[in-house]
Structure 1
Amino acid sequence: MVDPITSRTWAYRVFYVALILVLAFVQLLPLGASAGKLPGPDLIVAVTFAWVLRRPSYVPVPILAPLFLFLDFLLQHPPGLGAALILVGTEVLRARRDVSRNLPFPFEWAMVTAVMVALVGLNQIALTITMLDRPPLGQAILRALFTAAAYPLVVLVSHYAFGVRAADPNEADALGSRL
């Protein structure tokens, strides 16, 4: 029989993948976006960062890498670049999870915003080096800032609607390692 912690973890992993695919589907819908309008937040990145800081076991690298590679192909981004940048961003946040657990939410929010803006810079540099078309820097930074502005709402929805709460320092997984 499967223990409840493992089954809950896998259920949340499947739910995360389904949620990201639904958000990607909504992003593909032709909802009348035209040139000159402000960019919307990237909810896929916000959900991923919120879940990595709250429950990193729900979004491990073996799930993130193929999922974001598939999204690169689906959304017609340079293959692998978005996946690599998301992996860098999530691993930076994952490494600082213990520190951010003890900090108030505004500091976590500032850390996530800094990671998002840094990923925009890395994306611009990578696209420039490979001589691919890149979005205007101002628009890319604005999208990152709108994503950062939506981050508290994503955290609230994740916490209250989806039940993705930060692990207690004494909480352990099925193998006994601390979360």
Structure 2
Amino acid sequence: MVDPITTRTWGYRLLYTAVILVIAFIQLLPIGIAASNLPGPDLALAVTFAWVLRRPSYVPVLLVAALFMFLDLLLQQPPGLGTALAVLGTEVLRSRKGVSRDLPFPVEWVFVTGVMVALVGLNQIVLTVAMTDRPPLGLALLRALFTAGVYPFVVALSHYGFRVAAADPNEADALGSRL
């Protein structure tokens, strides 16, 4: 018989994968607003950050790397760069999970926004060093701010819609280690 904690963890990993694939499908649909030059939020990154801060075991590093590499290739972005930045951002947030668990949500929101802005800066630096075309810095920062703007809604949807709540400090995983 399979442990219920393991079953729940793998179920949420599949749900996370499905959510990212639905976001990718929606990004491919030709429903963009042609008159507006404003970038949309990066919902995949917002969902990933929200889930990593709430339940890091639901979003393992290899799954994040595989899904973001798929998104890089599907959306014709520089292959591997978005993946590396997403993995770096999730690992920065994952390493602070003990501290961020006790923080109020506005502080968490500011911290996540700082990570997103730092990722934009790293992206610009890497694309400049590689001498490839890069998006204008203003638009890239605006996209990060739009992503930060939808982050509370993503957290609310994750919490109330998908039941991805922050782990209780006394809660343990299937192996007995604290979450």
Normalised TM-score (structure 1): 0.98
Task: Give the AA of the match of 1:105.
Answer: F
Q: Which runs of 4+ in 1 moved over 4 A?
A: none
- How far apart in 2 are the matches of 1:34 and 1:86? 28
1:46-78 Cα distance to aligned partner (Å, 9 max, x none): 000000000000000121111111111001011
Which residue matches 2:160?
160
Which residue matches 2:108?
108
C-alpha displacement of 1:143: 0.5
1:1-179 to structure 2, matched below 5 A, reads 1-34=1-34, 36-179=36-179
- How far apart in 1 are the matches of 2:111 and 2:94? 12
- How far apart in 1 are the matches of 2:178 and 2:53? 14
C-alpha displacement of 1:34: 2.6
- Identify which range, 143-152 or 30-39, moves more after superposition: 30-39
- How far apart in 1 are the matches of 2:36 and 2:16? 32
Q: How many residues align?
A: 179
Task: Give the AA of the match of 1:15.
Answer: L
Task: Give the AA of the match of 2:81.
Answer: L
CA RMSD of aligned residues (A): 0.9
Name stretches of at least 5 consecutive residues in structure 2 with no aligned partner. none
1:130-176 Cα distance to aligned partner (Å, 9 max, x none): 11111110000000001001000100000000000000000000000
Name stretches of at least 5 consecutive residues in structure 1 with no aligned partner. none
C-alpha displacement of 1:45: 0.6
- How far apart in 2 are the matches of 1:71 and 1:42? 11
Q: Percent identity among equivalent residues?
A: 73
C-alpha displacement of 1:37: 2.5
Task: Give the AA of the match of 2:169.
Answer: P
